Amino acid sequence: SVRIVVASDYHWTLAGEVERGIFKVPDVALAKVREFTSLGGVFVLATSGSMRHIGDLASLLRGIAYIALENGLILVKPDGSIVNNAPDWWRPVKESIVNELSRLGIGFTMGYEAIFLKAHDVGGLGLEDRYPVKLEYNRGLVSVMPRGVDKGFVVRVLRGMFKGYIIVAVGDAENDLSMFREADIAVAVANALDVVKGEADYVTDREDGLGVAEVLDAAIRCGEGLRRCLDSDARFTKVH
C-alpha cells in the first residue's frame, strides 16, 4: 500500500485554463489519480474556493478522492460525507460580517463557511482590523475566512487524519506557499510563479495536470522512497 498523501491545488495546477475562465483536468491526470488511490494513496484536491468553483470535477473525483474546500474548512470525503472544520467561534463572526456587508449594499456570495467578495469592494472596510479574519486574494476575488485558515490548514487537517503518511503538496501560486511549508515534500508545477518555484523542493517538467500526473506516477513507482526517486528522476528539477 502507498502511504502517501498528495494534496494538489486546482486552478493552474491540477486543471489548466483551456480558454478564458474554462478549466480542464487532463485525462492522464485523472487516470493517475485513480491508479494512485487504488493502491492505497490518498489524493486531495485543495482549494480556497467552494464547490461551485471546481465545476464538474467533484463528480469525477467522487469515490476516489478527498476535496478540501475553503482552505480545508470543509473536507468532502470520497463517499460524499462532509466534515466541517470551522472553529466554533466563527459562526457569530461570520454573521456579523454578512450583516455589515448587507447593510452597506456590498455584493458577496457564501460558500459553506467562507464569504467571497470582489477585491475592489474590500478596500477601506478594515475587516482584518475589526474581526479575527484572514483575507485571501486570488485574481480579483477575496475570500474571508477565520484567521489562521490558509492552505497550510489543509495539511494540518490531513496530518491529523493520516498519521505516518508522507504528505506532498503541489501548487503554482503564492497562496500555495503555506501548504508547501507544512508538507513533507513541496512540488511546483512547471507553470508556477517563480517565487513559488523558489520555495519548492522540486519543479515538474510538465505544466498543470500533466505535472501532477508526473508526481503521482513517481509516488506509485517509489512509495515511501519518493524523495530519493525525485532526486534522480529527470522529470523533476531539484530546488532544495
How far are the Cα atoms of 20, 161, 172, 206 from residue 190, in angstroms, in the given order?
A: 20, 30, 8, 5
Query: What residues form DSSP beta bridges with 238?
Result: 202
| Per-residue pLDDT at 10 exceeds 80 | yes
The pairing of beta strand 42-46 with beta strand 66-69: parallel
What are the cell numbers at 202? 522540486
Distance CA 63, CA 211 (A): 23
Nearest to 113 by CA among 134, 129, 139, 140: 134
Would you say how long the chain is, in residues? 240
Summarize pLDDT for 132-155 with one digit per residue, the tens: 999 988 767 899 999 999 999 999
| Per-residue pLDDT at 15 exceeds 90 | yes
Q: Are 61 and 67 in contact (CB under 8 A)?
A: yes
Among 51-65, 98-112, 179-193, 217-231, the minimum mean pLDDT is found in 51-65
Name the active-site residue from 9, 150, 172, 201: 9
Summarize pLDDT for 69-124 with one digit per residue, the tens: 999 999 999 999 999 999 999 999 999 999 999 999 999 999 999 999 998 999 88
Average pLDDT (40-56) is: 93
Q: Are 112 and 52 in contact (CB under 8 A)?
A: no
The pairing of beta strand 66-69 with beta strand 74-76: antiparallel
Q: Is 41 helix (H, G, I), strand (E, B) or coil?
A: coil
The pLDDT, as a whole number, for residue 1 is: 79
High-pLDDT (> 90) share of the chain, %: 91
Residue 60 burial (CB count, 10 A): 15
Residue 3 burial (CB count, 10 A): 14
The pLDDT, as a whole number, for residue 90 is: 98
Average pLDDT (2-24) is: 94
Residue 9 annotated in active site: yes
The pLDDT, as a whole number, for residue 53 is: 87
User: Please, which pLDDT band fits residue 212 given cuts at 50, 70 and 90?
Assistant: very high
| Per-residue pLDDT at 14 exceeds 80 | yes
Q: Is 104 helix (H, G, I), strand (E, B) or coil?
A: helix
Mean pLDDT in the chain? 95
How far are the Cα atoms of 32, 47, 66, 88, 137 from residue 21, in angstroms, in the given order?
A: 25, 16, 24, 35, 17
Residue type, 154: V
Average pLDDT (161-185) is: 96
* Phi and psi based region of residue 148 (left: phi greater than 0; alpha: psi -120 to 50; beta: remaining): left
Does the reported pTM lie above 0.75?
Answer: yes
The pLDDT, as a whole number, for residue 140 is: 79
